[in-house]
Copies of this chain bind each other. A is one copy, B any other.
Amino acid sequence: MGKLSATAIVERALEIGDTEGLDAVTIRRLATDLGVTPMALYWHFKNKEQLVVGLADHLIAGFAPESDDDDRPWRERMRDLIEGLVRLLRTHPCAKSVLEQVDQVAVPSFLAVWDLALGLARRAGFDTEQSCLISKYILQSAIAIADAPVHYSARYTPEEAAEIVRRKRVTLQSLPADRYPYLVEMAAPMVGGISRETYDTFGVDLILSGIESLAARR
């Protein structure tokens, strides 16, 4: 049989993480779900930190940055990269937590993304320090764009999700309007009512145009 394997563990962990949050992904929970003893997991992963590395690697490997023989201009390739990150973060609700918690240097596929971003930034004309900063900036701002709260779908039924959004909106709307005038006014979009177009195209434009306008200055 060989029921247990590293990928089986990772896949179940992502299921739990996406539906119940990364905090619910625990060695013991994983073990009972897989019909096995908690200690069985320690043969496949040295410890929990390495499990999270496995999760991150699995997630990022899914949207593999295209190969080296890509002759398109850096703007297009960088847009692809950012859009890929945003899509990843949208598809997997727990990707944000995973990428925040993991030691990124330990994740091979993450290093590949990093390297790609560095190369593109260099090609755009930035120096080494600036390129380093830009490559971190790309991931972090992709998180900002993808972080719109549309993730309830995996975790709840549509009715439950609507109820949660409603409650959050009411919370914001019942704040003192003299102290937080804009929050009260914009409670609805703030809490999840943003259109796909706004955060997919406007959001990516926001990131890219900053990079482009600084690239033009050198």
Q: How far apart are the CA atoms of A111 and B129 in the complex, in Å?
A: 34
Q: In angstroms, how far is the closest chain B Cβ from the Cβ of A129?
A: 4
Query: Which residues of the partner chain B approach A212 to less than 8 Å between Cβ atoms?
Result: 213
A 27-50 to B, binary, CB cutoff 8 A, 1 in contact else 0: 000000000000000000000000
Size category, A interface = 35 or more
Partner of A210, one of B132, B148, B207: B207
Given contacts A115-B183, A119-B182, contact A136 B144 (CB under 8 A): yes
Task: Tell whether, in the assembled complex, residue B194 and residue A133 are in contact, meaning their CB atoms are under 8 Å apart.
Answer: yes
A 131-144 to B, binary, CB cutoff 8 A, 1 in contact else 0: 11110110111011
Choose the segment among A8-16, A52-60, A71-79, A197-205 that binds chain B (4+ C-beta atoms closer than 8 Å): A197-205
A 78-113 to B, binary, CB cutoff 8 A, 1 in contact else 0: 000000000000000000000010000100000110
Q: In angstroms, how far is the closest chain B Cβ from the Cβ of A59?
A: 18
Given contacts A114-B183, A182-B119, A210-B213, contact A147 B136 (CB under 8 A): yes
Which chain B residue has the least Cβ–Cβ distance from A106?
A: B171
Q: How far apart are the CA atoms of A210 and B204 in the complex, in Å?
A: 10
Query: Which residues of the partner chain B approach A198 to less than 8 Å between Cβ atoms?
Result: 129-130, 133
Partner of A128, one of B129, B148, B189: B189
Q: In angstroms, how far is the closest chain B Cβ from the Cβ of A20?
A: 17
Q: In angstroms, how far is the closest chain B Cβ from the Cβ of A71?
A: 17
A179 at the interface (CB under 8 A from B): yes
